Structure 1
Amino acid sequence: MNLVQYLTVSIILFLLGLSGIFLNRRNLIIMLMSIELMLLAVNLTFLIFSVYLDDLVGEIFALLVLTVAAAESAIGLALLVVYYRVRGHISIEFINLLKG
């Protein structure tokens, strides 16, 4: 496989994540999973160019992005659990009640 084919897979993964955010506005967990899919697609792009250019900076940056993504999903899921315990449901329509 060449560079264009790998980048096509990465673009398809990113577009799947983007469509998951825009098409599913009701389920917050699926939206978080779509954000994670987008971050993984960007990481794949970093790794592809790191191997193509024979440079380790892309791999290190991908590792840092994975660390931030893991922390983001852990904090996001913890917030969802607390919100579910308080409200009894996880619905995006009612989350705007947290504003103030």
Structure 2
Amino acid sequence: MAMVLFIDYYFLSLLLLYFSSFLFFFLNERNPFLILILLEFQLIMLALLFIYFSYLNHSVLGYIFALFIIAFAGAEASVGISLLIVFYRIRGLFSVYFPSALERVQWKKIS
């Protein structure tokens, strides 16, 4: 029993370490394709955490949430890549950080 608990805590700590490292890289990245890939990895880690906790609690609910997360991740990736393609065709750049792009916007006063 003690070995099983050790493996469970090892697996949980490994998942949390991966999730936090991908979160760190996600917040420091400027390439939108890499941001989408890192977001997909975070969603996969979240699905694995749901599966792990449902395994510990002997519940099916975590597996159902994991399936919804994976379906959402697929839809999010397809929409994100299509928006990036449209953005590249219009603007001609892939950078997420562009402060000069907001200078050309004509802001209207709301009164």
Please, what TM-score do these two structures have when normalized by structure 1?
A: 0.86
Q: CA RMSD in A?
A: 1.9
Q: Could you list the runs of 4 or more consecutive aligned residues of structure 1 that deviate by over 2 angstroms after TM superposition?
A: 93-97
- CA deviation after TM superposition for structure 1 residue 66, in Å: 0.7
Structure 1 residue 59 corresponds to structure 2 residue 63: yes
Residue ranges of structure 1 left out of the alignment (5+ in a row): none
Structure 1 residue 90 corresponds to structure 2 residue 94: yes
**Residue matched to 2:38:** 34
Could you report, residue by residue, the CA deviation over 1:73-97 in whole angstroms, capped at 9, with x for unpaired residues? 1100100011111112111123864
- CA deviation after TM superposition for structure 1 residue 23, in Å: 2.1
Residues matched between the structures, number = 98
Residue ranges of structure 2 left out of the alignment (5+ in a row): none
Greater share of helix: 1
Q: Supply the distance in 2 between the matched residues of 1:48 and 1:83 (Cα, whole angstroms).
A: 38
Structure 1 residue 7 corresponds to structure 2 residue 50: no
Could you report, residue by residue, the CA deviation over 1:6-60 in whole angstroms, capped at 9, with x for unpaired residues? 1112112211211111222x21111111111111111111111111222111001
- Give me the identity figure in percent: 32
Cα contact 1:20–1:30 (8 A) shared by 2:
no
Partner-residue secondary structure (3-state), 1:73: helix
Structure number with larger C-alpha Rg: 2
